[in-house]
């Protein structure tokens, strides 16, 4: 089970087929959660993103 769990913003933008600025707007608006792991690195939990997208689709 080598599925990616954490994604950086550019990876997430590609995964969701949206622009990078849309990712940061979603974070700012509280639509998605991010985790700061260092001063310059922010990651997103793919499992949580998938759950959020499942709720949007239904």
Any idea which architecture 6-57 has in CATH?
Answer: Orthogonal Bundle (1.10)
At residue 56 the predicted structure's pLDDT band, cuts being 50, 70 and 90, is confident
The tens digit of pLDDT for each residue in 22-44 reads: 999 999 999 999 999 999 999 99
Token digits for 54? Answer: 């499942």
Per-residue pLDDT, 53: 87
Mean pLDDT of 38-58: 90
Mean pLDDT for the chain overall = 92
CB 47 within 8 A of CB 11: no
Q: Where are the beta strands (DSSP E) in the chain?
A: 6-8, 35-38, 41-45
Q: Find the length of the chain.
A: 58
């Amino acid at each position: 089970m080598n599925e990616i769990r954490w994604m950086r913003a550019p990876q997430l933008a590609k995964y969701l087929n949206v622009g990078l600025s849309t990712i940061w707007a979603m974070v700012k608006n509280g639509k998605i959660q991010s985790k700061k792991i260092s001063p310059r690195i922010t990651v997103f939990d793919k499992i949580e993103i998938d759950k959020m997208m499942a709720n949007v689709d239904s």
